[in-house]
Amino acid sequence: MSTLTQDQVAELAEYLETCELEAKDAQKVTDRYPDMDFEDAYAVQYAIRQRKLDRGTRMAGLKVGLTSRAKMKQMGVETPIYGFLADYFDRPDGGDIETDQLIHPKVEAEIAFVTKAPLKGPGVQVGSVLAATDFVLPAVEIIDSRYENFRFDLVSVIADNASSSRYVLGTQVARPQDIDMRHLGVVMERNGEIVELGAGAAVLGHPAASVALLANMLGQRGEEIPAGTLILTGGVTAAVTVNQGDNVNVRIQDLGSVGMRFV
């Protein structure tokens, strides 16, 4: 079911995307349209993606969010969601993140996948994901909800492209058969101090389950995850607030580290 007209979807997409591009707070979309449902929310997200494509922005991959208990508890929502990664979200390992382009960034330690074969739900499981995975690598996602104080409901955050804003990938990759992703230790440091700890299994029992979930959710729309897709599987731990001047480093066992400076 959907409740919004095409004009309302287009108007919300323009509104939220402008807030993203200008780094300013947005009013929750459900304040304006309390009856909006998931279908409306994804319609707004896809309309934001189309606005970027029409402007010549390329898509760099997909992300799944709210896949660990730590993240669900922190945000007060219990259902995983997905969003897209645009080319200009990408920052190099060891590089700078310009805080004046963001509202109130937080960092998340994540395990990223790159596929080598298409995945199409329903029925995708951990085993089929591992067989279709080229390699995995460590990642930090920088999320920046356009909503004040990151206070949102599920519909509002889906419309806001799951708070996506930047991401940094590590440069060391591993083949899925060479590592046990459930048992990978994850350590996040801010300015040299440990702020979060976790293990791969925090993400839906196995990070590949997050990719399976994504394939199955997209399958409901008749879409697939194409070969060669980058997928961020979701924060292993709670997200950590960062400010200008902070250095962040995430180490993932067997996958090396990834770091960035907030300038």
* Size (the chain), residues: 263
Q: Does 65 bind Mg ion (CB under 5 A)?
A: yes
Cα dihedral 146, 150, 156, 160 in deg (nearest 10): 30
Q: Does 240 bind ligand OOG (CB under 6 A)?
A: no
Which of the stretches 6-14, 17-25, 62-70, 209-217 binds ligand OOG when contact is defined by CB under 6 A? 62-70
Q: Which of 235, 240, 258, 262 binds ligand OOG (CB under 6 A)?
A: 235
Q: What does 249 interact with, of Mg ion, ligand OOG, none (CB < 5 to 8 A by kind)?
A: none
Size of the site for ligand OOG (CB under 6 A): 16
Q: Which positions ≥6 away from 139 have C-beta within 8 Å?
A: 109, 110, 111, 112, 167, 168, 169, 170, 232, 258
Q: Which of 65, 105, 121, 176 binds ligand OOG (CB under 6 A)?
A: 65
Residue 116 Cβ vs ligand OOG, minimum distance, rounded to whole Å: 23
User: How many CB atoms neighbour CB 263 within 10 A?
Assistant: 12
Q: Which of 156, 163, 210, 249 binds ligand OOG (CB under 6 A)?
A: 163
Size of the site for Mg ion (CB under 5 A): 4
Tell me: cis bond preceding 122? Omega within 30 of 0 counts: yes
Print the binding letters for residues 22-51 with ligand OOG: x by CB under 6 A, - otherwise: ------------------------------
Task: Indicate the helix (H) or strand (E) that contains 106.
Answer: strand 106-115
Residue 87's SS3 state is helix
d(CA 177, CA 261): 32
Q: Does 17 bind ligand OOG (CB under 6 A)?
A: no
- Closest residue to ligand OOG, judged by C-beta, is 65
Sign of CA dihedral 201, 108, 216, 76: positive
Q: Does 157 bind ligand OOG (CB under 6 A)?
A: yes
Q: Does 196 bind Mg ion (CB under 5 A)?
A: no
- The angle, 0 to 180 degrees and rounded to 10, between the axes of the packed helices 6-22 and 38-54 is 60
Q: Which residues bind Mg ion (CB under 5 A)?
A: 65, 108, 141, 235
